[in-house]
Structure 1
Amino acid sequence: MPAPTLSKTAPGPAPVREGPVRAGLRRTAALARAELLLLRRNRTLMSIAVLMPLAVVGLLASLGGEAGMTGEAAAVAVSSLVGMLLLFVVYYNVLSAAVARREEGVLQRLRTGEATDGEVLVALSLPSTAITLVQTVLLAAVGALALDLPVPGNPLLVLGGLLLGAAVFSGLALVTAVATRTLEAVQMTSLPVLSIAVLGAGLALPLDVLPPAVADVAEFTPLSPVLTLVRAGWTGGTGGAELLQATVVAAAWVGLSVAVVRSRFRWSPRG
């Protein structure tokens, strides 16, 4: 009697190993999606994000009249909106999220998983950054179609200014979180950064009316270089010592924030 033969099954495809960069991006995206779901429940922030661009569109319509606005006037108005979004959507929300997640013990639990510290903190800022980008694009589109608003002359420079500004104020939010013990204290601890940023960028008072020495110092405050880049991008400005200085100053704020966060950030409520 012939011996039974054993059928051999073909081996399946070898599993594809994920590279470290791709795995890090996947983890960051997953954390950012979870943060976005929580962000949608924040009615105050979502109201600011939706109503502020509409208010700016109405302001532009009232100022522009039938003749439309010049590129310089549009750049000033749009950069003011960008500044407010960076302060109240990016900075204030990232600060609130960091403190809330720490007090809930979420940050401490995330550190025990696969995600690195940098991935966890970057994920906190991505939803707010995305909202700021979307609102700016919508303002540009609605303004161009409905109000004859000049379109950006250098969109890449505007985008670069927005992303650099988001990095600056996300970093400052995490630095502020170091000194913020509870979520209720956010309103107090955020005031110094908000005040310096608003005054230094000329959003509350034109810099032209200030003494020259004070105006020169204002150029080194966190928001001022960002708005310089956005305005230059909207009017089509490129190159120049002013843009280089603005980029270096903004990058210095990012570097300073990273250094402070790496050495002082508290991950647990009792840390």
Structure 2
Amino acid sequence: MNKVALITGASSGIGRATATALSKAGWDLTITARRLDRLEETRTQCGKTAKVLVLAGDISDERFVLELFKQTVSTFGRLDLLFNNAGMGYPSTLIEDLPIEAFRKVMDVNVTSAVICTREAFKVFKAQNPPGGRIINNGSLSAHIPRPHSFPYTISKHAITGLTKTTALEGRSHGITCTQIDIGNALTDMSFRLSQGALQSNGQTVPEATFDVEHVAQSIVHIASLPTNVTVLDYKIMATEMPFVGRG
């Protein structure tokens, strides 16, 4: 029987690359995002032997998430991996110019959705036989060191660190483990602008190095393949030449 993964934000970028890599490694999948057409494109890139359940919707909508997990269990009988990948950024903005509704939207997509999915995954992991499972949260290097003028995104990713640690703590006596993967400049549609020029803390705007997103996907496949009595709590992967260590 194939293992089963649920991936949010699977219509492009890291989510799509991870879905493709896991399917080719023998996993069955539930993939979700807002756009059905893009999810169908992801499905076509998955291995021919994998079973892929496609469900489009708003991952910050609790009712949709409940249905997402219900259909996953109904289709596959269990769940082994949740990849909380869905997220959004926000344009570089001074704090005094930040609309609070924009902040709430970023928090809903980046944090609230991950909390709801984690809660529902715990229910499944505890109830299934054998019990247990793994959660991987897509954090960011911004969970450690912010970029200038990045209040909503940076705050949301610091919150993901708290979610990761509490998930690992609450899950460890139930065979549930959790990882935060912090990615620096994997080349996707979302990060392409960084290769063209990114604001640095010294006020300069300079192009930053990027790397192939496939390396992120393969890292996730490796972590997901570990037994649940092994935890990778923090995992950083980045372009070697990007400014992070000594960012500035």
Same fold by TM-score, threshold 0.5 exceeded? no
The structure with the largest alpha-carbon Rg is 1
Higher strand proportion (structure 1 or 2)? 2
TM-score (norm 1): 0.29
Higher relative contact order (CA 8 A, sep 6+): 1
